[in-house]
Amino acid sequence: MTLNQDNPTKKFLPLILATSIFMQMLDSTILNTSLPSIAKDLMESPLNMQNAIVSYVLTLALFMPVSGFLADKFGTKKIFILSLIIFMLGSLFCALSQNLTHLVISRVIQGVGGSLMTPVGRLALIKTFPKNELMKAMNYAIIPALIGPILGPLVGGYLVDYLSWHWIFLINIPIGLLGLLLSFKYMPDYRSTQITFDLKGFLIFASASLLLSVSLEMFGSTQHTTLILLIFTLGFLMIYYYYIHAKKTKDPIFPLNLFQVRTFRVGILGNLATRLGISAIPLLLPLMIQVAYGESAVVSGWIVAPMALTAMLGKSSVIKILDYFGYRRTLMTNTFIIGILIACLGIPGINTSIYWFIPIIAILGFFNSIQFTSMNTIAIADLRISHTSSGNSLLAVNQQLAVGFGIAFGLIALKLFENNATITGGNTHLAFRYTFYIVGFLTVLSGFVFRRLHSTDGENMKSQV
């Protein structure tokens, strides 16, 4: 793919954005195959390591809404460079972590950098390229987003088995240094004179997200039911407080009239519901292969990798599928198929060859790709131009929260089954199997969310996906 060679900024900016996307996508997947090794070194149970993943995802969700404001106020160049430095420092601190608490704090630092890095880089790209060149530049920059999930499990597996888990974080340092070198020279410095940011709304929304996430985390690791219910209730009260605030505020961070658009409501709810099941699989499957089957991190990485390869195939097929079936039928049927495939991961017994998982996970990757593209495009299909930015921002935040909730939910279910001797008799593999059945069943149920779509919804988006 050839980009404009006359302007050095246009030549290198997509590469700068590509380095940030690659680090973020690699970091989102590389940890999945490495958790048992990290847990052993830090003297923790692998089933108690979800905080290392959820803390990163949650931080991304909390700080993404503030990225545009910071870029407008201080300039895209300063904020992007700062975000790279924060991400690299977080990666270094992760590698130096001596216990789970240190690792979680370091992952939060990483998340702060990641939450600014990609949105600010994308903003600079949008402002640099005219519309007729933007799609080509964006496609060039997002290639790492497709490669990262393939390399993540494999790189993580090989680094853990042949070096040490510390290298899964240290690998970000040379990539980040390349990004810094290019940014100092070629990153444009855009800023805005008209800056409005709903700081109060942001703090309320962030508090609600944090309280709900903490309550979910505590549910899997403590018996203090009253405290959990109190935190959970406070989270919902903060959501209501945000509703009151947004009604009275001229420019809230997420306008309430977004939810008057039916397709946006369904897209947001569908994203949250279906990702609760889907998000747990890239973590649960490598964990089962290593913990229950006793295989290496490399083997688990090779078994999960086809999921990302077939996702690329699904990406190229989604336009034809949507054109033929429409959004309503595609999303309902696709969600049911995904739920059934997740449940199928629980069928192989402990004496069955682990390579039976490869065709299931490969087919799952294909349908996951169709699901994500369809949900994301139907959510913004009917938004006004003035609401596209805030709607897209809320969609991104919702996706990250859903991923965090999904990972937490999957591991909570797994721990509940493992600790219930009546059901599993302390058999870890059986606990994994039952977890896949539950997660699959709930994913099937989530498909009914899309019944609220009309058969003609998304007609204006079909050939633009």
Domain match, 186 and 209 both: no
pLDDT at 234: 92
Q: Are residues 243 and 296 in the same domain?
A: no
Q: In this predicted model, what pLDDT tens digit does every residue of 135-153 receive, in sequence order?
A: 566 666 666 666 766 777 7
pTM exceeds 0.85: no
Domain end residue (candidates: 235, 252, 269)? 252
- Report whether pLDDT(3) > 60: no
405 with 279, same domain: the answer is yes
154 — pLDDT class (breaks 50, 70, 90): confident
Give the residue from 221, 202, 198 showing the smallest Cα distance to 210.
Answer: 202
* Contact between 393 and 64 (Cβ < 8 Å): yes
25/57 same-domain check: yes
142 & 239 share domain? no
| One domain, residues 238 and 272 | no
Q: Do 273 and 243 share a structural domain?
A: no
Assess whether 229 and 279 both reside in one domain.
no
| Domain's final residue, options 252, 270, 295 | 252
Shared domain for 203 and 185, answered yes or no, is no
Q: Which comes out higher in pLDDT, residue 409 or 218?
A: 409
pLDDT given for residue 249 in this prediction: 85
At 158-188, the pLDDT tens digits run 888 888 888 888 888 998 898 899 888 888 8
Instruction: Look at the chain and report how many structural domains it folds into.
Output: 3
Domain boundary among 156, 177, 195: 195
**Structural domain harbouring 208:** 198-252
Cα dist. 222→153, 328, 406, 439 in Å? 30, 40, 19, 22
pLDDT per residue as tens digits for the range 47-101: 777 778 878 888 888 888 888 788 888 888 889 999 999 999 999 999 998 888 8
pLDDT digits (tens, 9 = 90+) for 313-359: 877 788 788 888 888 889 999 999 999 999 999 888 888 888 889 99
Residues 238 and 337 in one domain: no
The answer to whether residues 225 and 341 belong to one domain is no
Render pLDDT for 199-241 as a digit per residue (tens, 0 to 9). 888 899 888 888 887 787 777 555 667 888 888 899 889 989 9
CATH number of residue 108's parent domain: 1.20.1250.20
295: confidence class by pLDDT, cuts 50, 70, 90: confident
Same domain flag for 111 and 185: yes
